[in-house]
Amino acid sequence: MGLDIVDELRNNADTEDIPIIFLSAKTTEMDKVKGLNAGADDYIAKPFGTLELVARVTALLRRCGSKNASCSQKPQQAISSIDPRGLRINIDARQVMVDNRHVHLTFKEFELLLYLYNNIGRAISRDKLLDDLWGVDFAGIYRTVDVHVKNLRHKLNDKKENPRFIQTIRGHGYKLLESNLSNGAK
pLDDT score for 139? 61
Give 42's Cβ-side CA count (13 Å radius).
Answer: 26
The two most distant CA atoms of the chain are separated, in Å, by 50
Quote the CA–CA distance of 162 and 102 in Å, as a whole number. Answer: 22
- In the chain, the amino acid numbered 14 is D
Phi, psi of 88 (to 5 degrees): -125, 125
Contact 162, 177 (CB under 8 A): no
- Enter the pTM of the model: 0.56
Tell me the per-residue pLDDT of 138-165, one tens digit each, with 9 for 90 and over: 666 668 889 999 999 999 999 888 888 9
Question: What domains can be seen in the chain, in order of their start residue?
Answer: 2-65+77-176 (1.10.10.10)
Q: For 84-139, write each residue's pLDDT tens digit.
A: 567 888 887 888 888 888 999 988 999 999 899 888 889 999 888 988 888 766 66
- Asked if residues 70 and 111 have their Cβ atoms less than 8 Å apart, the reply is yes
